[in-house]
Amino acid sequence: MNTITTDASASRECIDVNGRHYRRPQRTTVVICFDGCDPAYIEAATQTGVTPALDAMRRNGHFALADAAMPTFTNPNNVSIVCGAPPSVHGVAGNFYLDRATGETVMMLDAALMRAPTILAGLADIGSPVAVVTAKDKLRKALAFGLDGIAFSAECAKGTTDDEHGIDDAASFVGLPKPDQYSPELSLFVLDAGIRLIEAGRAEVLYLSLSDYVQHKHAPEAPEALAFMAAVDARVARLLELGAVVGITADHGMTDMARPDGAPRVTYLGDVLDAAFGEGATRVICPITDPFVRHHGALGGFVRVHLLKDGLSRQAVHDLLAAQPGVALALTGEEAAARFEMPEDREADFVVVGAEGFALGARAVDHDITQLAGERLRSHGSLSEQRVPFLLSHPLLEAEAGHRLRNFDIFDFVLNRVG
């Protein structure tokens, strides 16, 4: 009977965040939130042969489809991914909301709404060097919630400070020209920054969050989309070459919401409600609204409806909403919160989910569709954009248990479940 050496991996430091546990990584670990990367973009790129690194991940690692959090917007899903939990836990269910206490609409620009800690902050607390790089700066503050590490955006990389961002002048560190905020280069800068951070030994856990500028503008088969996929793929290849465990998922998919003639297929629920109940009786909030409306004119497949006037018949409002073309579901806030794991205490009176290929708007006057510059409206927000890719560089240690896979499971997989 011989003594067998203890398996060192049998004991590992970990963190318990929002009821799930995550092992401290022993290899560089990168999660990419590939903004707007509908599975169709991966398929088109693979068919065309422009993404050899992604193909290698599928072949040597693991590929599946996962469900994004609802609504299928950027902020709720990025926050879900870094918290490993749905919006009901962390509190962020939109980019833009009506503060019912003040009656003001508010753009989410920081972490004020977050009520759950992040996996990233937890890993940093036990000594893992963590870095977050986002395309847009508004997301940076939320994702860096509680984080003692590096966090900056491609948008505002210039002049960052060690004090606030964990790194002085990230732009100089990355050494690339500042990308235009409406460009594919914004996302590529994020990936290049991640690569630089690893090469310089500055980070072992990285969360890289891209922009969906390209996907809003171009269908999966479009040359511009394929070129973007190839450019992303080259960065992924470098991450793999550096020995990183890489996990890629998306915040939401993307759907064409235009008619055959190219005009956006929109139901303006604000106008419908105003006609029936009078101006000012209700307020339609489009939570896709963000400071970068040029992508989509603030039009997506999910809106919230607040009743502002006393004495309105909730049933009448509900029935009117449910009867509109392009409406897949009209739910009370309570129903929607329960069904989609959203924070009930922050829900509107009604939640309306669009049918596939339809956008829902407030009043026509609220949306400047000239910003689409004649391009077809491509957007997201509804259940139709919930399926997203879930791609891992390394094979699973154990077969999946058959539960519903979520995009916000990705840190669990890269930290706990790959070999």
Closest to a copy of itself by CB, 7 or 261:
7
Closest to a copy of itself by CB, 21 or 318:
21
**E strands, 244-308, in order:** 245-249, 255-256, 266-268, 282-285, 302-307
Candidates 37, 113, 150, 203; binder of a copy of itself (CB under 8 A) is: 113
User: How far is the C-alpha of 29 from the C-alpha of 322, rounded, in Å?
Assistant: 45
Q: Assess 146 for contact with a copy of itself (CB under 8 A).
A: yes
- Burial degree of 293 (CB within 10 A; 0-12, 13-18, 19+): middle
Candidates 115, 238, 306, 363; binder of a copy of itself (CB under 8 A) is: 115
Residues 6+ apart with CB under 8 A from 296: 216, 288, 372, 377, 378, 379
How many alpha carbons lie under 13 Å from residue 57 in its C-beta half-sphere?
29
Q: How far is the CB of 99 from a copy of itself (least distance, A)?
A: 5
Candidates 25, 76, 87, 122; binder of a copy of itself (CB under 8 A) is: 122
DSSP of 32-80: EE-TT--HHHHHHHHHHT--HHHHHHHHHSEEEEEEPPSS-SHHHHHHH
Q: How far is the CB of 199 from a copy of itself (least distance, A)?
A: 29
Q: How far is the CB of 415 from a copy of itself (least distance, A)?
A: 10
Residues 343-362 that bind a copy of itself (CB under 8 A): 346
Q: How far is the CB of 122 from a copy of itself (least distance, A)?
A: 5
The kind and range of the H/E element at 335 are: helix 333-340
The stretch among 10-18, 228-236, 255-263, 369-377 that binds a copy of itself (CB under 8 A) is 10-18
User: How far is the C-alpha of 143 from the C-alpha of 114, rounded, in Å?
Assistant: 10
- Length of the chain in residues, anyone? 419
For residue 268, give both structure tokens: 């303006």
Q: How far is the CB of 158 from a copy of itself (least distance, A)?
A: 30
Candidates 27, 100, 314, 339; binder of a copy of itself (CB under 8 A) is: 100
DSSP-assigned letter for residue 294: G
Binding mask 13-42 for a copy of itself (x = CB under 8 A): xxxxxxx-x-x-------------------
Interface residue list for a copy of itself (CB under 8 A) = 1-7, 10-19, 21, 23, 91, 97-101, 106, 112-117, 121-122, 125-126, 146, 346, 416
